Amino acid sequence: MIRPFQGMVPKLGQRIFVADSALVLGDVEIGHDSSIWFNCVVRGDVNYVRIGTRTNIQDMSCIHVTNHKWPTLIGDEVSIAHNVMLHGCTLEKGVLVGMSTTIMDGAVIGEGCLVAAGSLVREGFRAPPHTLIAGWPAIVKKDLGEDHRLLVASVWSRYVRYKEAYFKDGWPIAEAPEISAPQPGFKDGHPYA
């Protein structure tokens, strides 16, 4: 389901998959060839969400923002595994976030990082590029070796293929609703009270 909120309509690139049970709402932009899987919530209601190209958000994940303070920014070729909570954080290009992880306000995960499954990333945490982040709370464990880099690079490309398989099976390409008088988004000064 793709819905406007206060006149802000999600902006979608080409050949995006949004599962019918997912909710994408408000000031959200999603780049070409990305996919949002079953029962995800992407809620751009009190700040904005940006999702790059060829990025996948897997089933049961939840993406939200902080009023007046933190948008959520997700780069190109990022993989968010199942049941992840992202709140007001930034994930740079090529990150893999393992299943059931939580990443909190103001955290920045550098390019190509692997955030291990089940981690809790604290507010304002900074992860250097191409490192393994793990634990509760998460710490930097080490620079990624070749095996982990291969894992990170394999997931986003698989998910581009998966969503194409769904299209081939008859599932629809996502389309945003048209509304008569769209308002600017938060980045352009949306007057949220």
Ligand X SMILES: CC(C)(COP(=O)(O)OP(=O)(O)OC[C@H]1O[C@@H](n2cnc3c(N)ncnc32)[C@H](O)[C@@H]1OP(=O)(O)O)[C@@H](O)C(=O)NCCC(=O)NCCS
Residue keyed to tokens 């994930």:
91
Q: Which is nearer to ligand X, 53 or 119 (CB)?
A: 119
Residues 106-165 that bind ligand X (CB under 6 A): 114, 116-119, 132, 134-135, 141, 155
Q: How far apart are CA 44 and CA 91, in angstroms?
A: 16
Mark residues 49-88: x for contact with ligand X by CB under 6 A, - for none.
--------------------------------x-------
Q: Which residues pair with 80 in a beta bridge?
A: 57, 97
- The residue nearest ligand X at its CB is 98
Q: How far apart are CA 108 and CA 92, in angstroms?
A: 8
Give the DSSP letter of residue 14.
Answer: S
Q: Which value, to the nearest 10 degrees, does the dihedral of the CA atoms of residues 88, 94, 98, 104 take?
A: -10
Shortest reach from residue 20's CB to ligand X, in Å: 21
Shortest reach from residue 182's CB to ligand X, in Å: 35
Q: Which is nearer to ligand X, 47 or 58 (CB)?
A: 58
Give the DSSP letter of residue 163.
Answer: H
Site for ligand X contains 184 (CB under 6 A): no
CB 92 within 8 A of CB 74: no
Q: Contact positions toward ligand X, by CB under 6 A?
A: 81, 98-99, 114, 116-119, 132, 134-135, 141, 155
